[in-house]
Structure 1
Amino acid sequence: MECYTINDLPDTSTEPIDDLRLSLSQNRLEFLWCAIKSHIPHRKIALAAVFIGIIVLLILGHFWKALTLLATLIVVYGKFLWNSNRLYSNLRRGNSFPILTSEGPQYIMSIYDGERYIRIESASWQEVETISFHADFLVIEMKEESESGLFYMWTGNMETAKKTALAMWSKALKAKAGNAVQPEYYSEAELAEVSDFIENTFGKYSYVLHEIVSPDIHIDIALIPPAENRNYCTLCTLGVGAHRMNIPDQYRYGYLLAEHAELLIYLPADWDLSEDGMNDERNYWPIRLLKDCARMPIETDSWMAWGHSLSTEGNETFADGVPYSASILLNPQPDIYERRSLPLTTGKSVDFFQVFPLTREELEYKLSCANDKEREDSPTDALLDHFQMDRDNWTEYAMSRLCGCLAKTK
């Protein structure tokens, strides 16, 4: 066994690392035995002192005191085994597994046969006390003040797991000491999965608008040109989902909301997306809108989901001649009518939302409905109904709004 603490942690923070999915023991007895094996070595001195005390008490003839001390030891370890057994039962019941992320270790629940993942427990690397590496499993132990317990992780490639865990821990501590913010990126495998989903769902993209400066997340935008039966352009972000949104537990568990999201917007086929056209804010504003919406959860340490709305400061319109100053997140019809997540193999779920521009009047109506406690329908449904937005022919309706906007800007 190898055990690392902050004091003897090797500096591997400069090595490239990706989030790593590991597994849970398939055998309860193996899990409990490994829990004992990982627990005892850190407490050798205390255990030795207890056993010596028991022997001394027996020699001195204090049988009942020795028995009391032994009973106390049994109770302590019995409680430890009881809690470990309960942890295993909960994890197995939820079809859960552990992962290593740049944020810290996590337990993830797999539901709907892996179609959606829910984070059920996590801790930051700053909370970690020790990491112990055994032959085929590792144990991450938290500091006493942490609200999280132990993380048990099994792997068939301990070399990779060890390198990943130590590098993530070292990098996080180094960033914390330097008061630095770690930029968030998809791993190469995650990026490939997101890219494949975009192309399979929304169409092949012709090129990518790369972001030059990325202080927090790297937001590229994939441009999907018009095609047969798709007389419009689709702009979809690629990289927003690298950030885990801060969704309250009651919504994560109650509504199974994904903590990661990508955004898209549909534009008329003749929208000027050329390099020269992007120099005109009247053409560029949809791209700016995507990026502003994408960074909102980071800047406010919050979250976004279907029906959430955003507005500009002072209700200023997005560009001259454009009537819109706000937006709402909807399902990306016609490609996805109902909520459907992309489950990444690392154990994260990514939702896709359409950013739909709103006028100030439309936003104010939606907000008034949100404040009306007597309404039974959602504020979003009320908005769509009140302004007679054509849900049956959504794409044509949405393009008519933007075509009108496009005509005014030329």
Structure 2
Amino acid sequence: MKTKVNTATTLQLYSKRETEKIEAYIERQYGKIEDVMHELIPSNIHCDIAMIPASNNCPYITLVTIGAGAYKMNIPPHLKKYKLERAEYVIFLPKDWNIKSDKEEDYWPIRMLKNLARLPIYTDSWLMPGHTVTMKEDSSPVASNTKFNSCALLDSINKNDEMVKGLKLGLFGDRVNFWQVLPLYEEELKFTIEHSLGGLLELMQEVPLIVDINRLSLCK
């Protein structure tokens, strides 16, 4: 991926109609939105976080960004036919996760989503399934209560365990994709770089997509 820094400062926003369409689509795919964590000081994009609470069918909290896809990522020419320019990001948390807390031990999944949302802007690049991202420059863990230090992106799964298809914003408009965020340990990140994400996913077939800060590493 490119590392060129994009210095653009124009605020990229969805229209009101586009936002409403995306929110409705999120509810069809993941469940009813109970709360939206609004960004108070937007930069480049206005990245809110929709929260879908745990339910009997989905015993986990779902967080989905709303606003990341307002920015069109710099996709290489040979990938443009796949309409990957726009994306929102999804993460599943345990049903007892304290999403109201501002302690880093609780807040890091939200920070991870927001950082991913802006990474393509800051680096003038793109994100898609198969990409991995180290969350801190020194590769240290994201918080003191876990050793996760990175993440991988996958096609997102909805409440029916089906792959979420991209949403067309208009009859001839762009498509907004939904990428699942899977936190990784450092050794899992190294394994992915050396053997591809597919190799890691083969090891993770029995591992749920719900964040577990204490799960065993698959590469030790």
Shorter chain as normaliser: what TM range? 0.7 to 0.9
Select 2:204's aligned residue among 382, 389, 399.
389
The 2-side partners of 1:180 and 1:402 are apart by 36
8 Å Cα contact 2:62/2:92 also seen in 1: yes
Larger Cα Rg: Structure 1 or Structure 2? 1
Select 2:66's aligned residue among 233, 238, 251.
238
The 2-side partners of 1:191 and 1:258 are apart by 19
Partner in structure 1 of residue 84 of structure 2? 258
The superposition leaves residues 52-107 of structure 1 with CA deviations (integer Å, 9 ceiling, x where unpaired) of xxxxxxxxxxxxxxxxxxxxxxxxxxxxxxxxxxxxxxxxxxxxxxxxxxxxxxxx
Aligned residues: 206
Q: What secondary structure is seen at the aligned counterpart in 2 of 1:235?
A: strand
The percent of aligned pairs where both chains have the same amino acid is 36
Instruction: Give the superposition deviation at 1:180.
Output: 7.2
Instruction: Give the superposition deviation at 1:402.
Output: 1.2
The 1-side partners of 2:57 and 2:164 are apart by 23
Q: What secondary structure is seen at the aligned counterpart in 2 of 1:305?
A: coil
The superposition leaves residues 304-355 of structure 1 with CA deviations (integer Å, 9 ceiling, x where unpaired) of 1111110021111000021100000012225464462100116010100111
Q: What secondary structure is seen at the aligned counterpart in 2 of 1:289?
A: helix
The 2-side partners of 1:237 and 1:339 are apart by 15
The 2-side partners of 1:338 and 1:229 are apart by 16
8 Å Cα contact 2:146/2:213 also seen in 1: no
The 2-side partners of 1:339 and 1:201 are apart by 7
Supply the AA of the counterpart residue of 1:217. I
The 1-side partners of 2:155 and 2:9 are apart by 32
* Moved >6 Å (runs of 4+): none
Partner in structure 2 of residue 402 of structure 1? 212
Structure 2 segments unaligned to the other structure (5+ residues) = 1-6, 216-220
Partner in structure 2 of residue 343 of structure 1? 168
8 Å Cα contact 2:148/2:185 also seen in 1: yes
What do you get for the CA RMSD once the two structures are aligned? 1.8
The 1-side partners of 2:40 and 2:114 are apart by 13
Instruction: Give the superposition deviation at 1:390.
Output: 2.3
Select 1:296's aligned residue among 115, 119, 122.
119
Q: What secondary structure is seen at the aligned counterpart in 1 of 2:209?
A: helix
In the alignment, structure 1 residue 367 sits paired with structure 2 residue 177 = no
In the TM superposition, what are the counterparts of 1:181-260 in structure 2 within 5 Å? 181-253=9-81, 256-260=82-86
The superposition leaves residues 272-312 of structure 1 with CA deviations (integer Å, 9 ceiling, x where unpaired) of 112xx2x2100000000001111110000010111111002
The superposition leaves residues 199-246 of structure 1 with CA deviations (integer Å, 9 ceiling, x where unpaired) of 111111111111111120000000100112110000000111100000
Q: What secondary structure is seen at the aligned counterpart in 2 of 1:261?
A: strand
Structure 1 segments unaligned to the other structure (5+ residues) = 1-178, 370-378, 406-410
